[in-house]
Amino acid sequence: MNKPVDSDRGVSVIGLGAMGTGIARTFIHAGCQVSVWNRSRGKVDALVAEGAAGCASPEDAVRANDRVVVCLTDYEAWKTIIDTNGLDTCFEDRCLIQLTTGTLDRVREHEQYILGHGGRLADGAVMCYPRDLGTETSSLLMAGAPDVLEECDSLLSMLAPSWTNLGEDVRKPTILSRALMVDVGLSLIGVVNGVALARAGGISLDVFLEHTRNVGSIIPEEKIRLIEAIRDGNTSETQASINAWGEGQKAVRSVAKALGTNRILQDAVSSIFEEAERIGLGQDDLAALEKVFESEQD
Ligand SMILES: NC(=O)c1ccc[n+]([C@@H]2O[C@H](COP(=O)([O-])OP(=O)(O)OC[C@H]3O[C@@H](n4cnc5c(N)ncnc54)[C@H](OP(=O)(O)O)[C@@H]3O)[C@@H](O)[C@H]2O)c1
């Protein structure tokens, strides 16, 4: 059963995919009066059964509450909803909490659009699975005007008790979330590529798994060391130079070649180390590779 509804606790949620449903459900469990809209009606009905009020149109959802969370596939989907349903006049005095993943241009354009139509905007990026919302392991990066973030604080705290305020530049959550996703994405792609190599070479995945646990155990600490070394400008002291790492990665490439696996990842890694050597970083710590990525090379 829902907790008693507080009159300040009304919120609309537009977009009930995996994340939007998780968001709406978290608000319901926290005792909010939640109005929901989604393109496919089945997802609305499922939340109505849990205590939400279903809206017949996105306009009804925007008008139902001062604070409106939007969580869709991308900003293009939100623009389609706005255009198709003629929402231009609905944002006056509304506070939009935009949690859709976007590009920097789209995030900026959207800010101008909402402010230009009399609305207020908090823009953010969810950095956890829907199941983690509202727990200590949730993570939510937000930006917006200080008064708007203050207005949204109670709702944001329901989603992520220690949500992060990145300031007024609404592009910051996108930048930080994408910067973090480079690491997550490449680490996971690396594991999958390693599996392909191991399997092609007749190594059992149980053995691979056991050794991944051991070898991988240094990674969290090593990541922190690299970030601190870059922050402190200390990239010359090293246990293993960029040259040594480059040789190791060349050996991976030759094993991949011998086993006949696809070398798309190894080719990309090789070009990073070749560039590092070209600009004279060979004897430095791996942290110095940041210089390779600092700016687009001509
Ligand atoms: N899932 C996660 O673990 C996770 C984690 C962090 C961030 N996010 C971000 O959260 C956002 C939503 O992700 P999700 O996992 O919820 O995606 P999803 O399950 O694929 O849901 C997408 C939502 O967008 C709606 N939609 C897409 N195109 C539309 C259109 N043209 N018109 C109207 N509605 C449209 C879908 O409506 P229908 O139901 O009608 O198709 C659905 O509600 C994304 O930006 C994602 O990057 C997700």
Which segments of 3-66 are extended strands (E)? 10-14, 33-37, 53-54
Q: Write out the residue range of the structural domain in which residue 264 sits.
A: 175-293
CATH number for 234? 1.10.1040.10
Burial of 83 (0-12, 13-18, 19+ CB in 10 A): exposed
Task: Say whether both 179 and 73 belong to one domain.
Answer: no
- Using 50 as the pLDDT threshold, list the residues of the chain that sit under it: 1-7
Ligand 1 atom 29, closest CA: 77
CA distance 186 to 223: 13
For residue 22, what pLDDT is reported?
A: 98
The dihedral over CA atoms of 42, 46, 47, 48, expressed in degrees to the nearest 10, equals 90
Residue 191 lies in a domain: yes
Q: Dump pLDDT digits (tens) for 31-46.
A: 999 999 999 999 999 9
For residue 138, what pLDDT is reported?
A: 97
Residue 1 lies in a domain: no
Task: Say whether both 238 and 286 belong to one domain.
Answer: yes
Ligand 1 atom 42, closest CA: 17
Residue 18 CA to ligand 1 centre (angstroms): 7
Task: Say whether both 130 and 203 belong to one domain.
Answer: no
In the three-class reduction of DSSP (H, G, I as helix; E, B as strand; rest coil), residue 101 is classed as coil
Place of tokens 């449903």: 21
In the three-class reduction of DSSP (H, G, I as helix; E, B as strand; rest coil), residue 236 is classed as coil
User: Which atom belonging to ligand 1 lies closest to the Cα atom of 76?
Assistant: 31
Looking at 114, 141, 168, which one is the last position of a domain?
A: 168
Task: Say whether both 266 and 216 belong to one domain.
Answer: yes
Task: Say whether both 158 and 43 belong to one domain.
Answer: yes
Q: Is 71 in the pocket of ligand 1 (CB under 6 A)?
A: yes
Half-sphere exposure of 199 (CA within 13 A, CB side): 9
Instruction: Work out how many domains the chain is built from and give that number.
Output: 2
For residue 9, what pLDDT is reported?
A: 85
Task: Say whether both 141 and 269 belong to one domain.
Answer: no
Task: Say whether both 147 and 213 belong to one domain.
Answer: no
Residue 39 lies in a domain: yes
Instruction: Flag whether the pTM goes above 0.95.
Output: no
Ligand 1 atom 47, closest CA: 101
Q: Which of 291, 194, 197 shows the shortest CA–CA distance to 242? A: 291
Residue 261 CA to ligand 1 centre (angstroms): 34
Task: Say whether both 160 and 60 belong to one domain.
Answer: yes
Residue 67 lies in a domain: yes
Task: Say whether both 13 and 140 belong to one domain.
Answer: yes
DSSP state at residue 87: G
Ligand 1 mutation target, pool 39, 80, 107, most atoms within 8 A of CB: 39
For residue 298, what pLDDT is reported?
A: 55
For residue 199, what pLDDT is reported?
A: 98
Looking at 105, 135, 168, which one is the last position of a domain?
A: 168
For residue 4, what pLDDT is reported?
A: 35
Burial of 142 (0-12, 13-18, 19+ CB in 10 A): buried
Structure tokens at 50: 């849990």
